[in-house]
Amino acid sequence: MPALLTMRQELVTDGSLVEKNDHLVFSRDVEFSSPSAAASIIHGGNANGFLAWRDANGTTLGDIEKDD
């Protein structure tokens, strides 16, 4: 967990993550090893990226991948 928080802080410091409307959002593309790794950075702890990431319609990444 401390490694996640360290990486999160590094992304904030370098401007990759910015606060917008009380949420952290990516200001540029950042590559992660998995959707869950990216979601964990945003969440600040363990997260399932296939459930956490949603499109503008609210469809989860997991559901989008099932349809492919």
Reference 67, options 49, 46, 47, 50; nearest CA is 50
29-67 per-position pLDDT tens digit: 999 999 999 999 988 889 999 999 999 999 999 999 997
How many of the other CB atoms lie within 10 Å of CB of 40?
22
The domains of the chain are located at 2-67
> What is the reported pTM?
0.77
